[in-house]
Chain A
Amino acid sequence: MKRASLSVLGGVVGILFFLPLLWVVTNSLRPGSETFANLNPLSWQTFLELRPTLTNYSALLNSAIGRATLNSIVVSAATVVIGLAICATAAFGLAAFQFRGRGLVFGIVVLSFLVPFDAIAIPLSTMFRDWHLTNTFAGLVLPGIGNGMAIFLLRQFFLGIPAELVEAARLDGLGWFGVFRWIYLPLSKPALIGAGLMLFLFQWQAYVWPLLIGTDAKHILGPVALSNLQGQNFTDYGLVFAGAVVLTVIPLVVIAGFQRYFVQSVSSTGLK
């Protein structure tokens, strides 16, 4: 009984959060001239379309969205892989050891994510220009890999891993990298997924940066292509929403795919 009411509550919350996105999906299946036609009075037509059309999606084929989505996947995936390696080792360095200056290093990590990236993007793009990184995939990936917030997140979770576990492993002859690889990483899967999502979203929503370093049509990323669908004097929202749906489906698949890692309490099974 209690389980059922919790399901209902969860369902209501989930649907409420989804409703605005449903409006986007519905209007991506309508001609752009009708986007704002069913707002008032509020009715079921506002959120549902009985005669959906795929014209907006077929029109997307003529835009750069396809290539941009692929590029965004490549850039985001590279960032997640490299970024997780860098951030997780750093978090381990901060969580597993006692050393002088630990507070200072942690302070630098925190400071690095207090500085708004959009504000330093302008001087940073000048630096990248000098290093001939404009219009390259490396130039797109690099700013995403050192993420102070992801280091902070992983450190918080790593601090929760009992010291006795590490001591026991050390006595068994495990090296420090082994401790990191075989104790810390397996015990922190949900946190690693969270950090991975953080690194992923930074790149998935990259907009100002790719423009500043002058990326051409070959290196175009999703948000830029989406924005290019908007005109100066007129925007076909049917088309824009179709593009937005395409760009939202990929993270949806990623998030849904990793859900199963959240089900089981890893540390409770791993510890005993």
Chain B
Amino acid sequence: MKQRQGLIALAFLAPALVCLAVLRIVPAISAVVESFYTESLLRGGRVFAGLGNYTDLLSNKDFRQSIGVTLLFTVLVNPIQVAVSFLLAVLFTQRAAGAKLWRTLVILPIATPPAVSAVIWSVIYRPDGLANGVLERLGLPAQPFLTSPSQVLPSLIVLLSWIGVGYWMLFLIAGIQEVPEEVREAALLDGAGPWRRMVSVVLPLVRRPLAFVLVADTVSNLLVFAPVQILTKGGPNGNSNLLMYDVYSRAYAIGDIHVAQAEVVILVALTLAIVAGQFRLLRGDQ
């Protein structure tokens, strides 16, 4: 019985597995292979370097700093985005006038071309820009934002959350809508307060969509590079030098594909470790 089920399941899975293998896994393997080679421009030609690219990277101060920055960023950005997305999803699933319009506006930033999002936020964060304009109106001192080593990462997190939370909210709304209305109404009649209702009734019921959002958001944030590339180039002093940006600039701007692929392997290993941890955590929750 189980074997027959396996065959049927395989039939359903086959088209996707072929696509993933050919379009993702095979090029990924070739990337791993490239990471063991090096190319000399002075002598010409590609030579096997073994783990040379990896040891070079790990002994590089900037690269180690980049890993630290990436981990700090991951620890900060994901809980914030998941929490805000969840709160927004709860807000926009209440029966209230205009909810459809408002939540469309919240989702919209994900549809904006990334290059334009970066221009918008460069204008917001300029010393004479919109954010300092607002602070001035409120009687607060001007802030350096992207030019300050301590404010650059929080500034990027705000920018990325503007882009992303509406998107992740969408999946949580889908999850909340799956919760039968009677259950939600019953909780309301019970007289449970809005907060308690949210935590005790809604949260467990959207467990699976929430797990998806947590994992997918974490992965997406580990692969962010466009705003860094356009706004900070990893600075000041490497404080926004996220790994994926480093990979991107190495592979595309500098053209050092071999070291870039070694860096990708390390990045994927790091992502895998974090995601595996999340899965374990979520399983323990069940």
Contact = CB atoms under 8 A, between A and B. Distances in A.
Given A46-B130, A86-B15, A98-B2, A127 B123 contact: no
A99 interface: yes
Given A42-B130, A120-B24, A252-B111, A90 B17 contact: yes
Interface in B198-238: 208-209, 211-212, 215-216, 219, 223, 225
Contact of B219 (A92, A149, A160, A251): A149
A270 to B, nearest CB: 10
Contacts of A108: 17, 20, 25
B65 interface: no
Contacts of A201: 110-111
A93 B9 contact: yes
Contact of A255 (B25, B88, B108): B108
B34 A146 contact: no
A61 interface: no
Interface residues of B, number: 102
Report whether over half of chain A's contact residues are helix, strand or loop; otherwise say mixed.
Answer: helix
B219 A39 contact: no
Contact of A149 (B13, B209, B216): B216
Nearest to A124: B27
Secondary structure type dominating chain B contacts: helix
B91 A39 contact: no
Interface residues of A, number: 104
A244 B116 contact: yes
Q: Which of A101, A237, A244 has the most chain B CB atoms closer than 10 A to its own CB?
A: A244
Contact of B116 (A15, A159, A241): A241
B178 interface: yes
Given A40-B129, A116-B223, A264-B177, A86 B6 contact: no
Specify which of A98, A193, A268 lies most central, judged by the most chain B CB atoms within 10 Å of its CB.
Answer: A268
Interface in A135-171: 142-143, 145-146, 148-149, 151-153, 156-157, 159-160
Interface string A219-238: 00011001100000000010
A190 interface: yes
Contacts of A116: 223, 244, 247, 264, 267-268
12 contacts: A20-B162, A21-B112, A23-B123, A39-B133, A109-B16, A113-B216, A251-B108, A252-B104, A252-B108, A259-B104, A262-B174, A271-B180
